[in-house]
Amino acid sequence: MKRYSESISGKGVSMLRLEDVNTYYGYSHILQGVSLEVKEGEIVVLLGRNGVGKTTTMKTIMGLQPPKAGRVFFMEDNIAGLPPHKISRKGISLIPEDRRIIPNLTVLENLKLGSLVHSKADERDALLKMAFDYFPRLKERVKHLGGNLSGGEQQMLTIARALMGRPKLMLIDEPSEGLAPKIVHEIMEIIKQLQKDGRTILLVEQHMEIAMRLSSNQRAYIMEKGRIRMGGSLDELSCQMDEVVRCLGVKI
Amino acid sequence: MSEIPWNVIAMQLFFGIALGCIFVLLSSGMSIIYGLLDVVNFAHGTFAMLGAYAVFVVVSLSDSFFVGIVSAVVIVGIIGMVIEFLLLKPLYGKDPLLPLLLTFGLSVAIPDFMKIVFGLIGKPISFPDALSGAITLGPLTLPGYRLFIIIFTLVVMISLWLFLKKSDLGMIIRASTRDSQMVQTLGINVSRIWTVGFGMGVGLAALAGAIAAPMMSATPDMGVDMTMTAFVVTVVGGLGSLGGAIVGGLFIGLVVAFTSYVASAYSSVAMYFCMAVILLVRPRGLFGEQGRE
Ligand SMILES: Nc1ncnc2c1ncn2[C@@H]1O[C@H](COP(=O)(O)OP(=O)(O)OP(=O)(O)O)[C@@H](O)[C@H]1O
Ligand SMILES: [Mg+2]
């Protein structure tokens, strides 16, 4: 198996580095030696079709499904094996694919929950203002229960809730899933804006076409059956179209 | 059957509500524990019994019933947190039967321990002087202590509600009840919240045992009935729902009060009968939520 992490990483400071990570659910060996790197300030896309282990990679980084072997470096600390709340406090936040809005809490409470351990009480108003600048629609919904929001609004709330924790690295898992094209467009624009504002993002997608919207020289990894098969900028990957098509199926 | 005079009915209503208040305190604790930790606390009544003994001990030392109540909550709450930390924590994520077996074991072992320390015979606890009288309200003579129970429970439940709705910790508890993993992912040490929640839950049980104590005296085995009552109320009201614990508690209190007036031998049968009927008509209880994670 070839390792791409060395050959394709650009310049800049390493923020996240997975080295030969192996993760299991019980006896099933899901991640079989995943290595990847995200540098400060960039968006990296993790592509792959259903069930190849993209979400498992995110859960492994977040500590929800700790690796049995391998190392996860976050700003040069090995965080593999730490519980999720400690990993969160180091500055990583997960925007999970199923969103996981707390349905019995209001929008405002969901946002506050995201900031509780990451900020002092007097800093929260500024954080809220920042979150509403990205998602003005949430401001009109502050009193609504999380469970009563539409799918698109829930996705916005999940991202906003993560932002309330002032993360250094955001792990965004398939934000486009199950949303109308117009909302997907909106969300992708926000993700671009987040990067412009200096945030580092690891983004999971199934559709290369959606990833291309970010920028065509976007760095990406393609996963297949628990391994990283290819890596490089989307432009470079397009040159190996046959291989990409094979890995991603029809989803281009 | 002859006509029952309305003031007798009013008195039974009053007794029923006072009894129901004790059930409300008991079951809201059970509900918090189930909602937060998914643990069915078989030893819930046992902690209520510990609360009654705590009142007995503290009252004999300090001579103040109110100091007794407060100490009961604090002492039993701390015992609960220690038990959760040392004994329950290692069982999470394994077979869900294990916490149930553990609390069942506690419900047998703790009363036996109390028998060794305090003896088999119950310890009487006298009514606090200020509350031993009666209050006349028109044609009704209301025992002061039961009136106290009602007001006291009202104050406790309103404070509990305010705590859950308005405080940060309360918000974390509400959130963890629905999705503890997500709460942990947001940086909150949920494991600690579980310890606090268990302490709160058994603290409420202790409160129920403490205020019930002057009416029934503290005995090592008083917890058995209280656990069963808490089960019935929680099932009637809906597992893991605080509103359900309130409505269910008052409802069962009234059922027991009226059946004991009409045919006292059947009062606990009536309680289980109500539970069976509600389970048939509405299996998730009056207030139970569907599909809780
Ligand atoms: N909790 C679990 N227990 C056991 N196996 C699991 C669990 N979660 C996922 N898997 C398995 O692990 C593999 C990888 O799943 P994962 O969710 O990481 O895939 P994915 O790439 O995110 O897929 P999708 O695009 O559908 O979200 C799948 O084969 C899946 O069946
Ligand atoms: Mg997934």
CATH code, domain carrying A218:
3.40.50.300
Task: Collect all residues of chain B within an 8 Å Cβ-Cβ radius of residue A84.
Answer: 181, 184-185
Whether residues A21 and A82 share a domain: the answer is: yes
Q: Do B175 and A94 touch (CB under 8 A)?
A: no
Q: Which atom of ligand 1 is nearest to the CA of A52?
A: 21
Confidence of residue A223 (pLDDT cuts 50, 70, 90): very high
Whether residues A162 and A176 share a domain: the answer is: no
pLDDT over 70 (residue B74) = yes
Q: How far is the CA of A232 from the centre of ligand 1 (A)?
A: 24
How many contacts does A have with B, using Cβ atoms within 8 A?
67
- The pLDDT of residue A241 is 74
- The pLDDT of residue B1 is 52
Query: Percentage of chain B surpassing pLDDT 90?
Result: 77
Q: Do A96 and B187 touch (CB under 8 A)?
A: no
Look up the pTM and report it.
0.91
Q: Could you report the per-residue pLDDT of B225-260, keeping only the tens digit for each?
A: 999 999 999 999 988 788 999 999 999 999 999 999
pLDDT over 80 (residue A166) = yes
Average pLDDT over residues A85-98: 96
Whether residues A69 and A183 share a domain: the answer is: yes
Whether residues A163 and A248 share a domain: the answer is: no
DSSP single-letter state for residue A168: S
Is some CB atom of chain A closer than 8 A to the CB atom of B179? yes
Prediction ipTM score? 0.90
Contacts 24+ apart (CB under 8 A), B108-115: B110/B43, B110/B46, B110/B49, B110/B50, B110/B223, B111/B46, B111/B49, B111/B220, B111/B221, B111/B223, B112/B220, B114/B49, B114/B50, B114/B53, B114/B220, B115/B220
pLDDT over 80 (residue A212) = yes
Average pLDDT over residues A93-106: 95
Q: What average pLDDT is seen over chain A?
A: 90
Whether residues A9 and A23 share a domain: the answer is: yes
Whether residues A231 and A148 share a domain: the answer is: no
Task: Collect all residues of chain B within an 8 Å Cβ-Cβ radius of residue A119.
Answer: none
- The pLDDT of residue A1 is 41
Q: Could you report the per-residue pLDDT of B91-130, keeping only the tens digit for each?
A: 998 998 999 999 999 999 999 999 999 999 999 898 888 8
- Residue A114 structural domain: 99-167
- The pLDDT of residue A63 is 97
Distance CA B41, CA A157 (A): 35
Last residue of a domain, one of A167, A183, A218: A167
Average pLDDT over residues B73-80: 98
Average pLDDT over residues B159-164: 96
Confidence of residue B292 (pLDDT cuts 50, 70, 90): very low
- The pLDDT of residue B141 is 86
How many domains does chain A fold into?
2
Domain ranges of chain B: 14-122+141-219
Hey, is A21 helix, strand or coil? strand
More confident residue, A209 or B173: B173
DSSP single-letter state for residue B265: G
Residues 233-292 of B with CB under 8 A from A: none
